[in-house]
Homo-oligomer: A and B are copies of this chain.
């Protein structure tokens, strides 16, 4: 889009988000409502979805240091934190900015219109009791929100221990995150099948994924090379793109480095990672624009499609019979509609999903 050429860094972000919200409310939302977009795709956006700070999602097997990583970014504690060598964090935690430390339970969080978590309500009560926000006045949280997650366990524990859809929750956060950091422990490196499944599901978010090889100061530089090499060896096969994933090597907790052989490297890597976090708010502007454009395109096609189908459904008699028949002829309708209104077929929704939704809609009109 032509506006990417403008220098967005000089823009006032607040004003920008206001303008995006206005555009959405005036131009896109009415079409969404008129064409039942929510029933086919996703619920209308909230103002909070525009204003939300960039989210950083932390993932990894248990005990790799996710919670300690957050503490080191905050340079202090946060309410509800639990750190330890056994699986400790048992819930998803949104670590957010607030005037003073406090915990907000999941049920309350999912109700707040000014927080971007209304969507999680759909994961049900079991999940909401395992979801919390921790508010702290740490400076870094003025720019970003961190999402701590319970460690990915292996085998039975993963499946039995959790009474909500862990995979779907991860996916929900990943969809909304601006950065996904997958952490590994240089001490005990292995990629469990469960982690592999998670990474596989996140493949579409490749560009947002960063790897962090944590606790890298605990071993000497030759061991570190071996471990790092083994990690890249396996990652290359899991991610399976020719482009190499950015892997940060570091040690993020309050203690000083143990082996100083790698000091130079670890300090540079830390600086790089912090710089990337610092840059998120700026990039978020571009990302939000792109997302709105993407959504607007999808809404436009949807509205034409619904309009086209509606024209074929009689107003009074034989409505449902005709609607049922349309389910059969859908592939043909897609092509005809695309040709009629000059829409690219590539912008059309997945036909099977669409058919399923259409089957659920009682009255298209």
Knowing that A222-B264, A231-B232, A234-B236 touch, tell me 5 more A-B residue pairs with CB under 8 angstroms.
Answer: A228-B228, A228-B229, A233-B235, A233-B244, A234-B242
Nearest CB on B from A212, distance (A): 13
Q: How many residues of A contact B (CB 8 A)?
A: 27
Nearest CB on B from A290, distance (A): 28
Which A265-311 residues sit within 8 Å CB-CB of chain B? Answer: 265, 268-269
Q: Collect the chain B residues with CB atoms within 8 Å of residue A230's CB.
A: 232, 244
User: Taking the full assembly, how many copies of this chain does it contain?
Assistant: 2
Residues of chain A having any CB pair with chain B under 8 Å: 220-222, 225-226, 228-237, 240, 242, 244-245, 247, 249, 261-262, 264-265, 268-269
A244 to B189, alpha carbons, bound, how many Å? 13
Nearest CB on B from A318, distance (A): 58
Nearest CB on B from A72, distance (A): 20
The listed residue (B233, B261, B262, B268) touching A233 by CB distance below 8 A is: B233
Known A234-B236, A236-B233, A244-B233; contact A225-B265, beta-carbon cutoff 8 A: yes
A237 to B247, alpha carbons, bound, how many Å? 18
A265 to B265, alpha carbons, bound, how many Å? 13
Q: Collect the chain B residues with CB atoms within 8 Å of residue A268's CB.
A: 222
Q: Collect the chain B residues with CB atoms within 8 Å of residue A245's CB.
A: 233
